[in-house]
């Protein structure tokens, strides 16, 4: 490094340390396959192969000969390596090769994106090797941040990897390598984090082109690419021990089941001469190798999900139920007008009868300064009584958004699939670097679209809102479907059904369902409010004075939200939380600062609580504290 050059330690790997990814294998699988799908040749199935070689005498000596120039840096102090391999440790390496892809196209000598003119083919080679946090991917690609490739070096215990590509355009082979350490010293000389493997024009790294050397490299590392087959081969020396064939298998099944079952993706795994092929024919039988202890789904859930997905892929366009598009000049929102009024009753009946439904949802999006674009997404829904909680999956062009879940209704499974390029571009702009969430405040998304946040919420909330609308005629019969919206932990004796005062519903009639109703039990109704909720009596229930306890917590996927409650989230009795009541008496707040105790004094009571974070979902539960005054009429 030259004097005055900024000292910096790369932090790109931190972007893949997220609670929504269970392991390093998750990040590796998601990013490597995503890159392959983005580089897919139209009309060809993408095939991605993982080969793991570890601890076998036949492997010894392979790695060391290619790391000769790197060795002093691997033993330098403050290089950032946590557990580098010892000289006595057997060689191990992971190979990832893709097929049916175009390889790294573009001029390998380019070092400045100003050299790319508008309309020219993007330079995959330049953005893959010479950029961090900068992407040449278009708005219609799955990736955005230019960080996905860093998962290759993060997977290596020496933070290094090689890449050899065969290009579809001209059949040329290029080989380079990269090592990413921290700023460190070797022989009293300070070195920057980024090191290179290749040919050099002074300090500028260029790919190795010599066919003899490339053949030897392929043999030494046991690459299997047939001559002339385009694609990218990545070599990761000394992979992290957590990256095993079983963890890779689990990650593929969880994050890429959708394109596998659509026959657009095949994945093969090799170790110790054994092969596992993940395709649409064998995906179910591979579940026997999966450890479900860290998964939110069990084997039965997966099997039912795969069956549901097969059904979704089998549908012709005529089988989809078209919804109405929201007006193009206003923020989209979910209500009954999204459905054909002549067909809504029939859809509700089909949903009640547990018929699978495929809905095509049209939508207008408007990038700033451009005309509105009509786009769409698909929602597949089924009721499954074997589910003890809601199950929803959001898929953007094949990749699963692991951190998104908005469905609250137990016994319902939903898959949201976004395949249209225009909507995929909007959602992709909102994604975090690990591609697990759609974030309203993402810098690549904020202020780029008119009503962009509303469009994003319209897609994210679609399973929950569709189920709410389809369940409205069934609210007073099916408590289980909506109890995740409004849960009653302690059984409440059933009183005489019917209105207590006749002012809300006429005898023999059915109560009107408020449009803001989001949950109902035999005793209570839960209604939506801006930043909160309102609780009232179910007009079909008789009234008995009683004391109830209302507990509230922010939803946390995969966890009991009440056990994860923290006073930093909110506290009753402190701003910005506000409580308004009618026909009730608010009792002193106890040590549990997320719990209210209220005496109900009038059949027309209501409790409204607001001030919660608008960007987080709430769980609300009600207990009857004093049931002694209750009785049956």
CB crowding 119-129: b at 16 or more within 10 Å, else e: eeebbbbbbbb
Give DSSP secondary structure letters for 473-505. Answer: GGTTT-HHHHTTTSEE-S------BS-SSSSSS
Question: Which of the 8 DSSP states describes residue 430?
Answer: T
Q: Which residue carries 């408007």 as its tokens? A: 366
Name the stretches of the chain with pLDDT < 70. Answer: 1-22, 55-60, 114-122, 133-148, 184, 473-513, 558, 626-633
Structure tokens at 596: 């209210």
pTM across the whole model: 0.71
Coil, strand or helix at 515: coil
CA distances in angstroms from 548 to 496, 551, 594, 621, listed in the order given:
19, 10, 14, 10
Helices (H), 353-407: none
The span from the CA of 175 to the CA of 65, in Å, is 16
8 Å CB contact between 304 and 356? no
The per-residue pLDDT for 137 is 45
Report CA dihedral (215, 216, 222, 227) to the nearest 10 degrees: 0
The span from the CA of 128 to the CA of 113, in Å, is 12
Structural fold of domain 12-288: Heat Shock Protein 90 (3.30.565)
8 Å CB contact between 427 and 438? yes
* Segment 50-70, tens digit of pLDDT: 999 986 656 667 788 888 888
Closest CA to 267 of 51, 548, 122: 51
The per-residue pLDDT for 364 is 96
What's the distance, Cα to Cα, between the start and end of the chain in Å? Answer: 86
8 Å CB contact between 193 and 174? no
Look over the chain and give the mean of its residue pLDDT values, rounded to a whole number.
83
The per-residue pLDDT for 133 is 60
Question: Which of the 8 DSSP states describes residue 156?
Answer: B
- List every span in the chain annotated with CATH 3.30.565: 12-288
Degrees (nearest 5) of the Cα angle 287, 292, 295? 115
> Sign (positive/negative) of CA torsion 305, 518, 469, 489?
positive
The span from the CA of 372 to the CA of 327, in Å, is 11
* Segment 272-317, tens digit of pLDDT: 889 999 999 999 999 999 888 777 788 999 999 999 999 999 999 9
The per-residue pLDDT for 22 is 64
The per-residue pLDDT for 572 is 92
H or E element, residue 375: strand 373-383
The per-residue pLDDT for 135 is 52
Backbone angles phi, psi at 531, to 5 degrees: 75, 20
The per-residue pLDDT for 486 is 40
């Amino acid at each position: 490094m030259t004097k005055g050059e900024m000292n910096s330690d790369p932090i790109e790997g931190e972007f893949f340390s997220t609670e929504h990814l269970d392991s390093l294998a998750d990040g590796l699988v998601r990013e490597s396959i995503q890159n392959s799908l983005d580089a897919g040749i139209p009309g060809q199935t993408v095939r991605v192969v993982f080969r793991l070689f570890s601890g076998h005498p036949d492997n010894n000596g392979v790695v060391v000969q290619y790391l000769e120039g790197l060795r002093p840096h691997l033993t330098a102090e403050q290089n950032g390596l946590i557990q580098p391999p010892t000289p006595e440790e057997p060689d191990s390496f992971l190979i990832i090769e893709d097929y049916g892809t175009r390889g790294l196209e573009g001029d390998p000598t380019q070092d400045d994106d100003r050299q790319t003119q508008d309309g020219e083919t993007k330079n995959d080679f330049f953005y893959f090797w010479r950029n961090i946090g900068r992407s040449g991917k278009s708005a219609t690609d799955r990736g955005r941040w230019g960080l996905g490739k860093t998962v290759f070096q993060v997977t290596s215990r020496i933070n290094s990897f090689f890449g050899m590509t065969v290009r579809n355009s001209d059949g040329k082979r290029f080989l380079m390598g990269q090592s990413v350490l921290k700023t460190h010293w070797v022989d009293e000389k300070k070195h920057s984090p980024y090191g290179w493997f290749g040919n050099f024009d002074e300090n500028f790294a260029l790919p190795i082109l010599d066919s003899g050397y490339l053949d030897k490299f392929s043999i030494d590392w046991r690459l299997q690419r047939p001559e002339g087959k385009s694609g990218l081969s990545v070599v990761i020396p000394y992979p992290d021990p957590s990256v095993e064939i079983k963890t890779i298998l689990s990650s593929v099944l969880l994050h890429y089941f959708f394109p596998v079952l659509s026959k657009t993706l095949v994945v093969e795994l090799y170790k110790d001469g054994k092969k596992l092929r993940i395709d649409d024919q064998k995906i179910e039988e591979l579940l026997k190798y999966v450890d479900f202890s860290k998964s939110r789904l069990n084997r039965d859930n997966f099997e039912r999900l795969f069956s549901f997905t097969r059904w979704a892929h089998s549908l012709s366009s005529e089988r989809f139920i078209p919804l109405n598009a929201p007006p193009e000049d206003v923020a989209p929102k979910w209500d009954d007008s999204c459905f054909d009024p002549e067909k809504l009753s029939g859809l509700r009946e089909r949903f009640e009868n547990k018929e699978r439904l495929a809905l095509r949802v049209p939508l207008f999006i408007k990038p700033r300064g451009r005309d509105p674009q009509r786009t769409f997404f698909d929602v597949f829904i089924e009721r499954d009584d074997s589910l003890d909680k809601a199950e929803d999956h959001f898929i953007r062009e094949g990749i699963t958004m692991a951190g998104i879940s908005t469905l609250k209704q137990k016994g319902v499974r939903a898959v949201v699939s976004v395949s249209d390029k225009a909507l995929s571009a909007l959602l992709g702009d909102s994604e975090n670097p690990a591609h697990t969430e759609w974030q309203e405040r993402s810098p690549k998304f904020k202020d780029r679209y008119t009503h962009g946040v509303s469009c994003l919420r319209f897609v994210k909330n679609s399973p929950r809102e569709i189920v709410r609308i389809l369940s409205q005629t069934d609210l007073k019969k099916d408590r289980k479907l909506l109890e995740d919206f409004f849960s009653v932990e302690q059984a409440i004796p059933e009183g005489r059904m019917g209105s207590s005062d006749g002012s809300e519903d006429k005898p023999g009639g059915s109560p009107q369902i408020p449009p803001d109703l989001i949950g109902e039990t035999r005793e209570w109704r839960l209604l939506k409010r801006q930043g909160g909720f309102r609780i009232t009596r179910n007009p079909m229930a008789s009234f008995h004075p009683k004391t109830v306890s209302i507990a509230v917590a922010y939803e946390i996927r995969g966890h009991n939200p009440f056990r994860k409650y923290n006073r930093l989230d909110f506290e009753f009795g402190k701003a910005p939380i506000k409580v308004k009541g009618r026909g009730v008496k608010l009792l002193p707040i106890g040590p549990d600062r997320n719990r209210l105790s209220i005496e109900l004094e009038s059949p027309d009571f209501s409790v409204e609580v607001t001030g919660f974070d608008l960007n987080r979902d709430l769980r609300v539960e009600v207990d009857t504290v004093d049931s002694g005054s209750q009785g049956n009429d």
